A = this chain, B = another copy of it.
Amino acid sequence: MGPIKLGVIGAGSAEFSAGMVRDICTTPSLAGSSVVLMDIDEGRAQTMHRFAQRYVHELGSSVSFEWTTEREVALRDADFVINTAQVGGHSQVERIRAWCEDRGYYRGFRLSAIIQSRFMVSVARDMERLCPKAWLIQASNPVFEGCTAMTRATSIKVCGLCHGHGGEYAIARVLGLDGSKVKGVSVGFNHEIWLTQFEYEGRNAYPLLDEWIETKSTEYWRGYRPHYGENQMSPAAIELYKLTGLMPIGDTPRNGGWWLHQHLETKRRWYGGDGGFDSEIGWAQYLENTNGRVDAIHRAVGDPSVKLTDLYPPKPTGEQHFPLIDALWNDNETVLQVNVPNNGAIKGIPDDVVVELPAVCSHRGIQPIQVGKLPDVLTLNQLYPRLLRAEQTVAMALHPDERVLLQMVLDDHRTKSWDHAVSFTRDALALPEIAELVAEMTRPTHPFAAR
């Protein structure tokens, strides 16, 4: 099929876009494609456009780039859309998080997930008008809730992608196994996937993991101070394995239950060192590192003496976005880890819930593997509770209702009483960041009373 027209929403995300430029320029079958970089922040959009222009020039690539602050320009007649936008950026997320912490919710509450999901639906609705046949590839979070909301509310073909899989190699590394002889399959929901198949040299490798837990884990965790983003072999991950019978993969051990996240001390116990990726220490480190990489990109763009292809060598990043586009557009068939509507793949999960699992991707479309029934204990202890939380977020994104928000707060283990829940909910409804959502909210006949 040859070149595509691609629209990128939130293209000011420097790190994502820098990777994306490398990936499209190193996919020969997409030569001649045109990309519209859209961001509401004009400066950022221009910066990434300059990056792309210089990169293409250095490489002699035939991919063309333009920039815009208008969503409509990026979407019109697109063949593919990638949405990597974070509403308000990290600063909004952190502002809302701090606001929640002041009210008793350590590390925040799920308000940003609602805001993001609602935003994603607005993009998919615009696509129905401007490029109804295009594929939407959802890169920013929450992939689970956002993709479920979009596929329910619109007719757009949606696929969520995430790099939080492949944790079987991290397990193998710690077990001292040769990664090239390891095979793993993980399924579930995004950030909630479980290793249903784990093989070493063609044989079930779970007994090797069990032996490691039995004989080596205690020693491994003595003075455990992993790099902040490494949690695949944390005490949290292993305890979740014990609780479900399957290993949680990638970002999955970051969730798991309130009991892992009560305060920094709890996080240290379960994630070691500084309390893992999501503690105040780990997350600050993540933001600092991210900002550092973004600054480096911006500096490189501002310095004409730098050769971008030296700093960012022209080879694929390993992200799945362009392998997916290449498979769907040019029929270069491949198996990828995707997030698409279940449609019967996992038994017991409704068809219109977006699940994460391996799928054959080709010109035929995205054809997930048939998973069948997962173990009852996994379904009961993790999948159903996680699905219920997702349904609340999806409901708030599609048909905002203050009674659902109140129930989300009541369900939170940190909520101390009815009065605490009511006052937090009322205050949250007054946040300027959700004013638009509140404006279209279903108003119950009777407001809640803090008796």
Contacts and interface: CB of A to CB of B under 8 A. Distances in A.
Nearest to A406: B243
A401 to B, nearest CB: 6
A204 to B, nearest CB: 13
Interface in A228-257: 235, 239, 241-245, 257
B381 A445 contact: no
Interface stretch (A119-127, A291-299, A391-399): A391-399
Given A242-B446, A243-B403, A403-B244, A388 B377 contact: no
A245 B402 CA distance: 12
B243 A417 contact: no
A444 B257 CA distance: 19
A404 interface: yes
Contacts of A241: 446
A388 B448 CA distance: 26
Given A243-B403, A395-B380, A451-B235, A417 B259 contact: yes
A2 interface: no
B242 A448 contact: yes
Interface residues of A, number: 47
A58 interface: no
Interface stretch (A73-81, A277-285, A315-323, A407-415): A407-415
Contact of A380 (B404, B418, B445): B404
A41 interface: no
A199 B283 CA distance: 55
Contacts of A388: 380, 384-385, 388
Interface string A404-445: 101100110101011001000000000000000000001011
Interface in A148-195: none
Contacts of A411: 385
A319 to B, nearest CB: 34
A269 interface: yes
A210 interface: yes
A70 interface: no
A203 to B, nearest CB: 17
Given A235-B451, A446-B242, A395 B410 contact: no
Contacts of A410: 257-259
Interface residues of chain A: helix, strand, loop or mixed (majority): helix
A89 to B, nearest CB: 30
A407 B243 contact: yes
Nearest to A238: B446
A213 interface: yes
Interface string A141-153: 0000000000000
Contacts of A446: 210, 213, 241-242
A392 B413 CA distance: 19
B403 A269 contact: no
A194 to B, nearest CB: 14
B380 A392 contact: yes
A436 B351 CA distance: 39
Contacts of A27: none
| Most chain B CB atoms below 10 A, which of A259, A262, A421, A447 | A259
Given A210-B445, A410-B259, A446-B242, A403 B417 contact: no
Nearest to A385: B388
Contacts of A266: 417-418
Contacts of A376: 395, 399, 401, 404
A404 to B, nearest CB: 6
Given A259-B417, A381-B403, A392-B380, A239 B448 contact: yes
Contacts of A235: 451
Nearest to A449: B239
Nearest to A388: B384
A244 B269 CA distance: 39
A214 B30 CA distance: 65
Contacts of A262: 417
20 contacts: A210-B445, A210-B446, A235-B451, A239-B448, A243-B406, A243-B448, A245-B403, A257-B410, A259-B410, A259-B418, A262-B417, A266-B418, A376-B404, A377-B401, A377-B404, A380-B388, A380-B404, A384-B388, A385-B388, A413-B413
